[in-house]
Amino acid sequence: MSTQNVRVTGSGADPSQDVSELERRLVDRIDADVMDPHIPVSLVEMGMIYDVRYDDGDVTVDMTYPCMGCPAYQMIQEDVTHCLLSVEEVEDVEIEVVWDPVWSKDRLDEDVQRKLRESGTAI
Amino acid sequence: MSDGWPPEAVDYVQAIADTKLMLSHWYAEQAFIGPNIQDNIALFSLTQDEYGQVRQFFLQLEGQGLDGDRLRSDREREEFHNAATTDEPAPDWTRFEVRFGLTDRAAHLMFDAIVHDDFAGLTEKMSEEEYSHFDFHDGWLEHLADAEPEAFRAALAESLPDVLTFIGPAAYDDDTDPLVTAGFTDRSAAELRGAFLDHLEGIVEGTAVTVPDPDPVALEEWDERRRRVAGGGIGADVLDSIRGTGNEEFAVR
């Protein structure tokens, strides 16, 4: 999953809606700073970030989890929040956990699958 | 259905959530004692799945105005609406599988019947996770029914009435089940009972075990909120364990 593919799915996001330059930068920031704590890829690469919306200082992130019982459930949300609050234009971050569409391995592109295999993760 | 929930739906979802909370608890406890290390590992995984699902059900209930902190840690014993099969630990492996494996199946049938928009994707994801639960439980149940038919029969006679009571009264059909008539679920308690019993018949097929005649559950005796006909509930020691009372001093604030 590349940063270019965020806001391409459900959960209320309009696939035809343009993503602003700032929103793209916020997705890039998550991609650079927030890693999945279990494997060496970012949340964006894992396809866990569905949408990032910016409105006058307020950012809303729609994200999901591959595993509903993720032990890092809260920690990951705090990592995303802290990461985005470090961007000058951002004043507040709200995380919305969504399950529609359900995450699947189809969201991993070939490069990410290779990284996972090299780290010993079965996919 | 996309509007608010009827009151019966809040009770229904809490009963499923509390039952899953207790399943998570008993899976975790059993995961330290077998029957073998492969099962221990599987049970830890089942524990994690159940707890993750409970977290999402509680968030949904918060959305309906219930107090999240109270749901998670501030309730008294009688406020838990778990299935009666999950009140106590199972004394042996056969009863563990019959009690909790069948209750897990019943809970799945129940949440899978929810068609309210708030659960779009959510129940689909849960069903994906439950697939491995049924792989595990059904394999064991088929084996135990074949290898220990007497113990299995006794366990079934003990637990089946409570599992069916959890699903609901047979008198609730498409025309009378308030969850169906409100559009919250698309299958009545009677239909879910039928699906559950069909599945159970399949598990014991070819063994010396037969499924006892099901109790229809008298509507006038049935507690709609706690989905049982008698009183009872979890013990004080179980409540302490769920709350983590003994571990409070280690909690990170």
* pLDDT for residue A3: 60
The residue ranges of every structural domain in chain B are 7-250
The residue ranges of every structural domain in chain A are 3-103
Probe site for chain A from B117, B125, B130 (most A CB atoms < 10 A): B125
Give B-chain residues touching A103 at CB under 8 angstroms.
Answer: 125
Residue reference for tokens 């019993």: B197
pTM: 0.93
| Contact criterion met (CB below 8 Å) for B80 and B234 | yes
CB contact under 8 A, B51 and A69: yes
CA atoms of B178 and B155, how far apart (whole Å): 32
- pLDDT tens per residue, range A71-89: 999 999 999 999 999 999 9
DSSP for A84-98 reads HHTSTT--EEEEEE-
* ipTM associated with this complex: 0.88
| Contact criterion met (CB below 8 Å) for A116 and A83 | no
Taking alpha carbons only, the member of B98, B75, B55 closest to residue B238 is B75
Of A68, A71, A73, the CB nearest to B125: A68
Interchain CB contact of B40 with A (< 8 Å): no
CATH topology of domain B7-250: Ferritin (1.20.1260)
The alpha carbon of residue A122 is apart from the nearest alpha carbon of chain B, in Å, by 17
Give B-chain residues touching A67 at CB under 8 angstroms.
Answer: 48-49, 52, 129
Residue B247 scores a pLDDT above 90 = no
Helix (H), strand (E) at residue A62 = strand A58-63
CA atoms of B47 and B72, how far apart (whole Å): 16
Tell me the mean pLDDT in the region B6-10.
Answer: 96
CATH class of this structure's domain A3-103: alpha beta
Give A-chain residues touching B55 at CB under 8 angstroms.
Answer: 68-69, 73
The alpha carbon of residue B17 is apart from the nearest alpha carbon of chain A, in Å, by 14
Residue B107 scores a pLDDT above 50 = yes
